Structure 1
Amino acid sequence: MRVLVTGATGFVGEHLVPALSAAGHDVVAFVRDRTQYVAPEGVEVVEGDLLDSATLEHAMDGVEAAYYLVHSMRSGGDFEARDRLAARNFVAAADAAGVERVVYLGGLGEERDRLSAHLRSRREVEHLLRNGSFSLTTLRAAIVIGDGSVSFEMIRQLAKRLPVMVTPQWVETECQPIAIDDVVAYLVGVLDYPETAGGTYEIGGPDVLTYREILQRVGALTKQSPMIVPVPVLSPKLSSYWIGLVTDVETSVARPLIEGLKNPVVVRDNRIRDIVPVELTSFDEAVTTALGVEPVEPITIETRTGV
């Protein structure tokens, strides 16, 4: 199958492109600057920008399925407007080219929970993609654990650099992280199961943890022991400035991520497990793999399992 991957240079895209190629697909990587991208052998590279509709026509030539992995949060400013335009341009180009299937990686979170701007934008993109004439498969995930994930890097640096953390109440919010290898397995796998076309599925790892537990476990795995003191008065804006001071994550990126931490992101619907078989990776194993460290003795923080 000829498959287009937008966002091929991003964290998920860099893992997905070689996995699709290894699965026997004819892969087209859509990138902004081909001089900055080293494509796996056999992968075609097309340069363009989703914000410039004229650059999409050639990328869609002969494409049967496409992956939408683009978001503009790193660009700062009004990322919602850029995401909106990019999605509309993509839909128009895919429809004109007759693309049959599109796979989108969105974010977990119930809309009734007053989603943050970041999660709300991800959900808006999902709705815009549904306007296309193609069959859309949506996978919704929480934090993706892996080397290169901005969310995970923020957590890793916090756990490593701060012996004592004064945090907002979001540290008690529940989250269901998932390893990057498991995300890729689902993304590749849905193409093999036609019944997933048109469906929306939630994906997560086997462990449900609060952000406090996540920070403590990452700290323990890196031989740190952060003390976490939650306070009710630390706003998302102040939190983002604080994170900007103690980590390498830019404030413009940290703020929408921090605002999203107030929303529980836990899998409530496990239908995908009955369709696409994936052996899920534990949180501790995902973290040690991402950090490239040796596994340690199991950590005695109690966790919940996904439903």
Structure 2
Amino acid sequence: MQVAVIGANGGIGRELVPRLADAGYDPIGVVRDESQFDAVRERGGEPRYGDLEGELAPALEGVDAVVFTAGSGGGTGWDKTLLIDLWGARRSIDACVDGDIDRYVMISAYNASEPLAEPEALAPYRVVKRCADDYLEQSALGATILRPTTLTDEEGTGRVSAAFEYHDDDGPDIPRADVAQTVVACLDDEATVGETIRLFGGDTPIEQAIHPCD
């Protein structure tokens, strides 16, 4: 299965591409800077050029699933947050619909279900993420939405705590590596289609934590 990772050179994307390759998937690393192609190859992926503000659809040709883990970054203004995290996400969803790509995993944000929650400074970002999530949910795609709490660069543990919206409490920070491994587990588990899952650091093996209760 070919899996396109949009944002392959980001913090989660860099962790995800080699894990997909190790799991037997054929990862496609979608980046908008061709100088990053070698880094994608070194991690086991096929690099393709794709720009969330420009040409995107050709980068998704022939793929079976898409993971959206792109973001404007904390050093940009709200204009880029709207263009990348919201409009770019919507464009990628539309490209999947138009290209008959059914499977989609969205890396969203903690508390996107409650955009006006504290801290107030993050409310606009959570609104953007919530709107992108809502658009995905309203599409015909087989989607899984992951909403991790604060991300760290610590080594992955292979264990998390997961809560299915909207019945959960706060939890510990989570390594980006464990979020990446959770994406792989979701692609392996069709039962996660249609689910929105909050992720925290925890002690439960990922494959067990993200499987919905019957």
How high is the TM-score relative to the length of structure 2? Answer: 0.78
Q: How does 1:89-168 map to 2 (within 5 A)?
A: 89-109=91-111, 111-112=113-114, 114-115=116-117, 116-146=123-153
2:176 paired with 1:188: no
Tell me the equivalent position of 2:195: 199
Distance 1:271 1:8, change over 3 A: closer
Q: How does 1:63-78 map to 2 (within 5 A)?
A: 63-73=63-73, 74-78=75-79
CA RMSD of aligned residues (A): 2.4
Structure with the largest fraction of strand: 2
Q: Distance between the aligned counterparts of 1:97 and 1:118, measured in 2?
A: 29
**Match for 1:275: what amino acid?**
H
**Percent of residue pairs identical:** 29
Deviations 1:65-124 (A, max 9, x none): 100112224432423421322122112211111111100111122644614112222222
Tell me the equivalent position of 2:6: 6
The DSSP-based 3-state class of the residue aligned with 1:75 is coil
Q: Count the aligned residue pairs.
A: 186
2:47 paired with 1:45: yes
Deviations 1:110-151 (A, max 9, x none): 64461411222222211122233211101111111106xxxx
Q: Is the 8 A contact 2:115 2:126 kept in 1?
A: no
Q: Distance between the aligned counterparts of 1:107 and 1:94, measured in 2?
A: 21
2:172 to 176, 194, 200: 176
Q: Distance between the aligned counterparts of 1:33 and 1:110, measured in 2?
A: 29
How high is the TM-score relative to the length of structure 1? Answer: 0.56
Deviates more, 1:178-187 or 1:133-142: 178-187
Deviations 1:191-249 (A, max 9, x none): 11111111111111139xxxxxxxxxxxxxxxxxxxxxxxxxxxxxxxxxxxxxxxxxx
Q: Distance between the aligned counterparts of 1:35 and 1:110, measured in 2?
A: 33
* Higher alpha-carbon Rg: 1
The DSSP-based 3-state class of the residue aligned with 1:203 is strand
Structure with the largest fraction of helix: 1
